[in-house]
């Protein structure tokens, strides 16, 4: 997963980046299965691998983006160096925040929610954000179609 995640952000080909993203998201679903959260793993596969990545690929193909290397998009050495520095600073700050928050906290042995409780919370408590995301994806799909048409 780590290699795939690095390839997502370092590859020059957009289609290859989307396919590396499939590998990363599938690995996440595998980790959810290992943690005993089968519902979340299946939801991960259906929503992210099945819908989001297909939407990315659909948008790439419809907009007829240039495939391969594009010298106009490739950053300069200063931009790449500053990006690495910002990433390292964020890593240190987030690591310290997590360490500071959870220092000395012991996890309970069994805090696993049944699948029915997770599904009920998604489709009752969080139904509005769930539907908002579906409308956002529909808008992105319509936008890709509008951009692809050359009237």
CATH of the domain at 13: 1.20.120.1200
In a domain? residue 136: yes
In a domain? residue 95: no
pLDDT at residue number 88: 94
In a domain? residue 92: no
Average confidence (pLDDT) over 117-142: 81
Q: For 7-57, how does the pLDDT look when each residue is reduced to its tens digit (9 = 90+)?
A: 988 887 888 888 899 999 999 999 999 988 888 888 888 888 888 888 787
Residues contacting residue 37 through CB under 8 Å, at least 6 positions apart? 112, 118
In a domain? residue 27: yes
Average confidence (pLDDT) over 106-131: 76
Domain boundaries, position 122:
2-69+111-148
pLDDT at 99 over 80: yes
pLDDT at residue number 116: 75
In a domain? residue 22: yes
Instruction: At 23, give phi and psi (nearest 5°).
Output: -65, -40
pLDDT at 142 over 60: yes
Q: What is the dihedral of CA 76, 77, 81, 82, to 10 degrees?
A: -40
Average confidence (pLDDT) over 122-131: 83
pLDDT at 81 over 60: yes
Residues contacting residue 74 through CB under 8 Å, at least 6 positions apart? 12
In a domain? residue 23: yes
In a domain? residue 59: yes
Q: How many distinct structural domains can be found in the chain?
A: 1
- 25 burial type by CB count under 10 A (0-12 exposed, 13-18 middle, 19+ buried): buried
- The larger pLDDT score, comparing residue 69 to residue 57, is at 57
pLDDT at 92 over 70: yes
pTM higher than the cut 0.75:
no
In a domain? residue 133: yes
């Amino acid at each position: 997963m780590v290699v795939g995640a690095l390839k997502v952000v370092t590859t020059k080909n957009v289609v290859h980046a989307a396919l590396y993203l499939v590998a990363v998201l599938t690995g996440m679903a595998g980790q959810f299965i290992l943690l005993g959260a089968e519902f979340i793993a299946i939801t991960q596969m259906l929503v992210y691998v099945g819908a989001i990545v297909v939407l990315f690929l659909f948008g790439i193909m419809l907009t007829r983006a240039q495939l391969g290397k594009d010298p106009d998009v490739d950053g300069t050495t200063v931009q790449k160096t500053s990006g690495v520095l910002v990433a390292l600073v964020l890593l240190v700050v987030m690591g310290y925040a997590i360490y500071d928050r959870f220092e000395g906290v012991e996890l309970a042995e069994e805090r696993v929610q049944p699948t029915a409780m997770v599904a009920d919370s998604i489709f009752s408590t969080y139904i509005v954000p769930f539907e908002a995301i579906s409308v956002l994806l529909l808008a992105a799909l319509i936008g890709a179609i509008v951009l692809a048409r050359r009237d």
